[in-house]
Amino acid sequence: MVDRIAEPWGERTPYGPGDEWPVRVDRYLADGRTDVDVDRWVQSASVLHSNGDAMDIGVADGRIVGVRGRAVDRINRGRLDPKDLYGWQANNSPDRLTRPLVRDGDRLVESDWDTAMGRIVARSRDLLDGPGGWGRFGFYTSGQLFLEEYYALGVIGKAGLGTPHMDGNTRLCTATAAAAMKASFGTDGQPGSYTDVDHCDAIALWGHNVAETQTVLWMRMLDRRRGPNPPAMLAVDPRATPVAREADLHLAVRNGTNIALVNGLLREIIRRGWYDRDYVDAHTMGFEELCRIVDGYPPQRVADICDVPAADVERAAELLGTSQRLLSTVLQGFYQSNQATAAACAVNNLHLVRGMIGRPGAGIYQMNGQPTAQNTRETGADGDLPGLRNWANTSHIEELARLWNVEVDTIPHWAPPTHAMQIFRYAEQGSIKLLWISATNPAVSLPDLARIRRILAKPDLFVVVQDLFLTETAELADVVLPGATWGEKTGTFTSVDRTVHISDKAVDPPGEAKPDLDIFLDYARRMDFRDRDGQPLIRWTGPEEVFEAWKECSRGRPCDYTGITYARLRGGSGIQWPCTEEHPDGTERLYTDGVFHTDPDYCETYGQDLATGAEFTEPEYRAKEPNGRAFLHSVDYQPSPEVPDEDHPMLLTTGRTVYQFHTRTKTGRAPQLDRAAPDVWVELNPADAERLGIAEGDLVGVSSARGGIQARARLCGIRPGVVFLPFHYGYFDQDPADRTPRAANELTITAWDPVSKQPLFKVAAVAVTKLADGRGVPSPAPTIGGSAPPADAGVPATVGGPAAEATSGKE
Ligand SMILES: Nc1nc2c(c(=O)[nH]1)N[C@H]1C(S)=C(S)[C@@H](COP(=O)(O)OP(=O)(O)OC[C@H]3O[C@@H](n4cnc5c(=O)[nH]c(N)nc54)[C@H](O)[C@@H]3O)O[C@H]1N2
Ligand SMILES: Nc1nc2c(c(=O)[nH]1)N[C@H]1C(S)=C(S)[C@@H](COP(=O)(O)OP(=O)(O)OC[C@H]3O[C@@H](n4cnc5c(=O)[nH]c(N)nc54)[C@H](O)[C@@H]3O)O[C@H]1N2
Ligand SMILES: [Mo]
């Protein structure tokens, strides 16, 4: 028995380089049940992060009663994280939406499917027939639906309505991962494999608190660290996260300065001869320009910009430069920070110049965050074209037109797809009049919430929200559609390392809730979308048919799924794409031969200027003659769009705790997780706190040019001058009479990366003031994770108690 709230990572199973990661099967069954009480186990994988932990769902009396990890799976070998173990309880929550709701004046009232869909279709027809046509529609979807649902939505948007205004919350999440891989390697698609952890001799974590966010991947890293010949570890993060505390070297950079750091590291690596001249010559372009740019970042300049010791920059360069099998992971500390795509590409550069790609242990994970973000991108539900096709390549559009049997001009491709922040801007300006939001909660997760609420509440904007609960966003909708979720519907999704899993239906959804796929297909039927021959555009009736159609769409593209079937996904491990007739067991690593996806006829983009985002044309791209070589992109450091000043003297950054997922619609309804981190807190460095007269637990006001919130102070290991807020806390479980603002995004800025268009959640200027004395009661921050207080602070440890007892064993 293990309390997995008190011990999120469980027991160590150490192993050595090249060995197989030992099995450890984790399980949690509620209410003291044991295996004999379970009627059936149904195969699935986790939807509370991008790791892809494979699990079985335990069912008794038609309800979910627990979960266990799947020992056969290549990703987790049986392990589960705390959210995986306890999060499923939200499915059974009594406040699930069970019927559609429609707006009646200032109220939402219960209705039926015909009425709700009837309203959406009537509005759609009016808009489609009126001035502006397809330009009036905006779709904002998720990284948490299934592949089949995204593909159906993508076809509705692109071939049915013909609108370019479609994006996912993946824009907030992994747009930069996609943009950086497109820019460096030609297309999206992770080069590495999780088994690189088994082989590497050094791990660099770039703005990635993997211990709290891909907890099972961290277990794998920790098990290597506790075994023979452990890998060295470098952490780049302004906070003393568990990763930073474990690392051999921690660079606590000032947030917003990543590019200066990586440029400086590249300079040292090149000057000290730690690069692979042959690999550079044979497989890359842009080395001379890279040398010219990074030459401007000697250690002392990096130290000044990033506020880290110059000697540590040199030590980090040595750690990276002398490793033989380097594994890098990159996530939100880069993607949501200043110069996101440029900084993520700089990590790619580091691997390319050292030839550290495409072989065991030498891997890059440009991480995903959400469980199915990879599929949003692959299927084009983020506005890109399905199959990682290039919107500027006419023959790619023609392929899709043939596949869907529609006119080429129906498919929007005259300009880049509209990104999420621009969709909200169009809604604000009134050109978008119908906004359909599925499986995301922008009234908590987008920057500058006062503005987002104002937009969603506009009387001339018809808002459809498809969710499990009456969220902060759903409250502002005109129609609310009750979705069925994980465990209640069947579909597939793909992890960071391209492993495809199936998630089978285990139980019926509550009330009249429906799978998102059924909702989208119902809309297509009611709208009567037709193909070029006057036949129904969409004839699918269930997920497996959509999957089969998707396989055809993916054929010949990097994400080729043609060798995968539902049957093959059932019973064993997940399978990594590309999976074809020639490679029936999938593909462990990409670019093993040093040939990249940069061929002009194959690539996903003709490229952008990484400093400004300006798009290059096809002739400009062809003139570069990439011949399968990767691009080394180099960019100079520019300060963040917002820096501290007299009124707002501190830097804000935001992020996550191990116990909560996003806006907490699921984890806030799982008692063990909720109790471990029940309310917002603000992390302060003890020196800043002393200067401001703030002690542990004091009530603090944090304000920016956008708004203000209140939170209790946690004094911990964050760098001086910086404050951190978890962004999880909206108001769903607050007393309705007391809606004191507490969401981090009341403060964040409306600004985005010029290339990936990912919003800047990690840098804003704020003022911090003490509002009330905490009288010695500590803040609600967990004592585990980035918010861990000093050992002598006297804060009681975060524990789960008997209710959190899970098991770990050999099977
Ligand atoms: N428990 C939990 N796990 C999750 C999720 C969750 O909500 N909860 N969400 C999932 C999703 S969708 C995502 S996208 C991932 C996110 O996973 P992560 O990226 O690991 O999570 P974050 O906490 O957003 O940010 C990571 C770190 O970036 C640091 N940071 C902030 N600014 C900077 C900077 O300018 N430079 C650098 N180098 N570091 C900086 C922060 O201090 C933080 O520790 O997690 C996934 N897993
Ligand atoms: N300040 C700050 N803001 C951030 C971030 C940050 O680090 N800092 N991170 C950003 C990132 S990386 C992300 S990914 C976003 C996440 O932001 P959101 O996507 O807004 O967060 P969630 O709470 O996961 O919202 C998902 C919604 O979908 C619903 N849902 C879940 N499953 C299903 C389903 O099967 N069907 C339907 N119809 N609905 C479902 C859930 O109930 C929930 O309301 O937040 C972003 N915002
Ligand atoms: Mo994310």
In angstroms, rounded to a whole number, what is the distance separating the alpha carbons of residues 785 and 305? 27
Q: 272, 218, 277, 280: which is closest to 246 by C-alpha?
A: 218
Query: What is the atom index within ligand 1 of the atom nearest the CA of 368?
Result: 14
Question: Whose Cα sits closest to atom 6 in ligand 1?
Answer: 661
For residues 185 and 297, state if they share a domain. Answer: yes
Among the listed residues 350, 404, 349, 345, the one whose alpha carbon sits nearest the alpha carbon of residue 380: 404
Q: Are residues 358 and 260 in the same domain?
A: yes
What is the CA(356)–ligand 1 centre distance, in A? 25
Of 62-71, 179-188, 470-479, 732-741, the poorest mean pLDDT is in: 732-741
Q: Is residue 645 included in any domain, yes or no?
A: no
Q: Give the residue carrying structure tokens 């919350």.
A: 169
Q: Is residue 3 part of a domain?
A: no
Checking if the pLDDT of 797 tops 90, the result is yes
| Dist. CA 811 → ligand 2 center (Å) | 33
Please choose from 169, 382, 503 the residue to mutate so as to test ligand 2's pocket, defined by most ligand atoms within 8 A of CB: 169
pLDDT at 647: 97
Reference 777, options 794, 764, 761; nearest CA is 794
Residues 413-430: what's their mean pLDDT?
96
Q: How many A from CA of 332 to the centre of ligand 1?
A: 5
Q: Which of 108-122, 626-640, 729-743 has the least mean pLDDT?
A: 729-743
Rounded Cα gap, residues 787 and 781, in angstroms: 6
For residue 548, give the H/E element and its range.
Answer: helix 543-554
Average pLDDT over residues 686-708: 98
CA 434, 439, 445, 449 dihedral sign is positive
For atom 35 of ligand 1, which residue has the closest CA?
Answer: 255
Whether 376 and 361 map to the same domain: the answer is no
End position of a domain, from candidates 535, 556, 577: 556
Determine the residue type at 355: G
Give yes or no: residues 141 and 126 share one domain.
Answer: yes
Q: Is residue 636 part of a domain?
A: no
Atom of ligand 2 nearest to the CA of 665: 42
Residues 153 and 295 in one domain: no
User: What lines the ligand 1 site, CB under 6 Å?
Assistant: 49-50, 83, 173, 207-209, 212-213, 236-239, 241, 253, 255-256, 258, 331-333, 337, 369-370, 653, 655-656, 658, 660-662, 762, 786
C-alpha distances (whole Å) from 715 to each of 211, 307, 790 are: 20, 21, 8
Is residue 30 situated within a structural domain? no
Give the separation between CA 274 and CA 262, rounded to whole angstroms: 15
Examine the pLDDT at 88 and tell me if it is beyond 90. Answer: yes
Residues 675, 729 share a domain: yes
With a CB cutoff of 8 Å and minimum separation 6, the contacts of 800 are 3, 4, 5, 6, 672, 675, 676
Q: What's the Rg (C-alpha) of the chain?
A: 25
Q: What is the pLDDT of residue 732?
A: 87
% of the chain surpassing 90 pLDDT: 98
DSSP per position, 201-253: SEEEEES--HHHHSHHHHHHHHHHHHSSSPPEEEEE-SS--HHHHHSSEEE-P
Closest Cα to atom 26, ligand 2: which residue? 440
- Out of 236, 762, 784, give the residue to mutate to test ligand 1, the one with the largest number of ligand atoms within 8 Å of its CB: 762
Residues 147 and 185 in one domain: no
The band of 811, judged by pLDDT with boundaries at 50, 70 and 90, is confident
Element (H, E) at 549: helix 543-554
> Atom of ligand 1 at shortest distance to CA of 661?
7
pLDDT at 738 over 90: no
Last residue in a domain, options 537, 556, 575: 556
Structure token pair of residue 783: 């004592």
Residue 362 has which token pair? 């030498």
Does the residue 248 lie in any domain? yes
In the DSSP assignment, the letter for residue 389 is B
Same domain, 293 and 382: no
Q: Which whole number is the average pLDDT over 377-391?
A: 96
Q: Are residues 164 and 123 in the same domain?
A: yes
249-260 average pLDDT score: 98
User: Taking Cα atoms as reference points, which of 76, 17, 25, 15 lies closest to residue 50?
Assistant: 76
Structural domain tally of the chain? 3
Ligand 2 atom 4 nearest Cα:
445
**What is the residue with the minimal CA distance to atom 34 of ligand 2?**
485
- C-alpha 214, offset from chain centre: 11
CATH code at position 347 = 3.40.228.10
Name beta bridge partners: 733: none
pLDDT, residue 626, reads 96
SS (H, E, C) 291-332: HHHHCCCCHHHHHHHHCCCHHHHHHHHHHHHCCCCEEEEECH
Task: Please give the distance, rounded to the nearest whole angstrom, from the Cα atom of residue 142 to the centre of ligand 2.
Answer: 7
Best substitution site from 662, 680, 725 to test ligand 2's pocket, by max atoms within 8 Å of Cβ?
Answer: 662
Ligand at shortest distance from the CA of 214: 1
Atom 44 (ligand 1): residue with closest C-alpha?
209
Cα–Cα distance, 16 to 231 (Å, whole number): 10
Instruction: Indicate the residue among 338, 367, 396 that finishes a domain.
Output: 367
CATH of the domain at 684: 2.40.40.20
Mutual angle of helices 516-527 and 147-155, in 10-degree steps: 20
DSSP, residue by residue, 27-64 = EEEGGG--GGG-SEEEEEE--SSSS--EEEEEEETTEE
The reported pLDDT for the residue numbered 810 is 86
Pocket, ligand 2, Cβ cutoff 6 A:
142-145, 169, 172-173, 332, 336, 369-370, 438-442, 444-445, 466-469, 471, 483, 485, 516, 654-655, 662-663, 665, 727, 744-745, 748, 761
| Structure token pair of residue 52 | 């892809």
394 with 279, same domain?
no
Confidence band of 71 (pLDDT split at 50, 70, 90): very high
Reported as a single tens digit per residue, the pLDDT across 763-778 is 999 999 999 999 999 9
Question: For the chain, what is the mean pLDDT?
Answer: 97
Cα separation of 575 and 211, whole Å?
Answer: 25
Print the domain residue range for 753.
650-807
pLDDT band at 123 (very low <50, low <70, confident <90, very high): very high
Indicate the SS3 state at residue 362: strand
Would you state the pLDDT for residue 188? 97
4 found inside a domain: no
Strand 650-655 to strand 722-726: parallel, antiparallel, or no bridges (unpaired)?
parallel
Segment 119-134 shows an average pLDDT of 96
Instruction: Tell whether 347 and 201 lie within a shared domain.
Output: yes
Residue 700, H or E segment: strand 699-703
Instruction: Express each pLDDT in 461-496 by its tens digit.
Output: 999 999 999 999 999 999 999 999 999 999 999 999
Residue minimizing CA distance to atom 33 of ligand 1: 333
Question: Is there a domain that residue 421 lies in?
Answer: yes
In terms of Cβ atoms closer than 10 Å to its own Cβ (0-12, 13-18, 19+), residue 515 is buried
Query: How far, in Å, from the CA of 377 to the mean position of ligand 1?
Result: 20
Alpha carbon distance 161, 154 (integer Å): 10
- This prediction has a pTM of 0.98
- Asked if 752 and 713 sit in the same domain, the reply is yes
Residue 597 lies in a domain: no
Ligand with an atom nearest the CA of residue 657: 1
